[in-house]
Amino acid sequence: MLPDLQYSAIRYESFAQDILAPLAFPVHASLSLTWSRPKGLDRPSFASASKLKYAPCAIGTRWGPVWSTAWFRVRGKVPASMRGFPVGLRFSSGTEGTLWVNGEPVHGFDPYRDFALLIPRAKGGETIDCFVEAACNLPLGISTFWWDHPEQHARWKEENPGRVEVCELVAYDHDAWAIGQDFDSARRLMLALDASDPRAKEIDAGLRALHASIPAAAPRTALRTARKSLDQILLGSRRDADSTCNAVGHAHIDTAWLWPLVETR
């Protein structure tokens, strides 16, 4: 039998994924998606790729083989319903990718990062026309790890491991996104603590009360009070238990051998 805190964590994880996470993108709009496949393992420049012939591409399309490249073109217009919102592109080819806007690389995609901001504040009616250069590999070459889903392990042993998973225009609500992130951060902190730690029990009680206060059918109505509750949960009642968080960047230069030499260079 799982300890009580682990049962709580499972319930909170589902709530964060199914109820809170979708609030970050309150408006969705479809986009035109076409693609072009360079021959073999060719890696054309943007100037060359933008002149290739593009054909319609559907969500769910599988592609490969590993180390190959595909270019996607994304086009559409910002609907009036997104007026006043920050607007971005959600895109995933199931692999790594680079977003090109006006001929410049501006953002990276991978299986864990599928959102790129395009317009800080939309007026409605803006034209969207951008490209994604997708590489059929993962953040660490084509390696999968023990924590990856079994489906991902199986897919990356197949001939066409890439998969077009999403391509849509979305309005972005940063405050809602932050609440979802903080809720899940509190959940993870609770799990990292010993089950007997009073702080773990305090977080569990706070998240349980917050969970109960947010109606699943209309969660957006409770976001303002949720923000205040989350701040208190993360701050805690013991000021002598404050933590310091240091963000330290790093580069896995020791993993260069996981890519073909042409990629590493």
Which amino acid type is present at position 259?
A: W
Whether the ω angle into residue 44 lies within 30 degrees of 0, i.e. cis, is no
Nearest in space to 193 (alpha carbons), one of 65, 5, 1, 2: 5
User: What pLDDT is attached to residue 260?
Assistant: 81
Tell me the pLDDT tens digit for each residue of 214-235. 999 999 999 989 999 999 999 8
Confirm if 8 and 203 have CB atoms less than 8 A apart: no
Phi, psi of 54 (to 5 degrees): -115, 140
User: What pLDDT is attached to residue 2?
Assistant: 56
All CATH 2.60.120 domain ranges in the chain, comma separated: 27-172
Helix, strand, coil share (%) of the chain residues, nearest 5: 35, 25, 40
pLDDT band at 242 (very low <50, low <70, confident <90, very high): low
Q: Between 249 and 95, name the one with better pLDDT.
A: 95
pLDDT band at 128 (very low <50, low <70, confident <90, very high): very high
**Annotation: CATH topology of 27-172:** Jelly Rolls (2.60.120)
Q: How far is Cα of residue 88 from the mean position of the Cα atoms in its chain?
A: 12
Residue 244 has pLDDT above 90, yes or no: no
Element of type H or E holding 135 = strand 127-135
**Distances 82 to 111, 171, 174, 228 between C-alpha atoms, Å:** 26, 6, 14, 27
Residue 1 has pLDDT above 60, yes or no: no
> Quick one: average pLDDT of 149-155?
93
Confirm if 88 and 53 have CB atoms less than 8 A apart: no
Q: In what order do the strands lie in the sheet with 104-109?
A: 55-56, 32-36, 69-77, 127-135, 96-101, 104-109
Q: Between 137 and 41, name the one with better pLDDT.
A: 137
Confirm if 170 and 90 have CB atoms less than 8 A apart: yes
User: What pLDDT is attached to residue 160?
Assistant: 97
Question: What contacts 37, CB < 8 A, 6 or more positions away?
Answer: 63, 68, 70, 71
Residue 147 has pLDDT above 90, yes or no: no
User: What pLDDT is attached to residue 261?
Assistant: 78
pLDDT > 90 in the chain, percent: 77
Which amino acid type is present at position 217?
A: A
**What span, in angstroms and rounded, lies between the C-alpha atoms of 87 and 154?**
35
Nearest in space to 210 (alpha carbons), one of 241, 174, 237, 180: 180
User: What pLDDT is attached to residue 57?
Assistant: 98
User: What pLDDT is attached to residue 59?
Assistant: 98
> Quick one: average pLDDT of 186-206?
93
Nearest in space to 203 (alpha carbons), one of 223, 183, 220: 183
Nearest in space to 46 (alpha carbons), one of 100, 90, 88: 100
User: What pLDDT is attached to residue 3?
Assistant: 72
Per the document, the length of the chain is 265
Residue 236 has pLDDT above 90, yes or no: no
User: What pLDDT is attached to residue 27?
Assistant: 98
Confirm if 118 and 88 have CB atoms less than 8 A apart: yes
Tokens of 230: 């989350």
pLDDT band at 258 (very low <50, low <70, confident <90, very high): confident
User: Across the chain, what does the average pLDDT equal?
Assistant: 92
- The lowest-confidence range among 14-18, 113-117, 175-179, 222-226 is 222-226
Nearest in space to 104 (alpha carbons), one of 67, 51, 50: 50
Which amino acid type is present at position 202?
A: E
pLDDT band at 204 (very low <50, low <70, confident <90, very high): very high
User: What pLDDT is attached to residue 239?
Assistant: 62
Tell me the pLDDT tens digit for each residue of 12-59. 999 999 999 999 999 999 999 999 998 877 889 999 999 999 999 999
Please give the span between the terminal C-alpha atoms of the chain, in angstroms, as a whole number.
Answer: 51
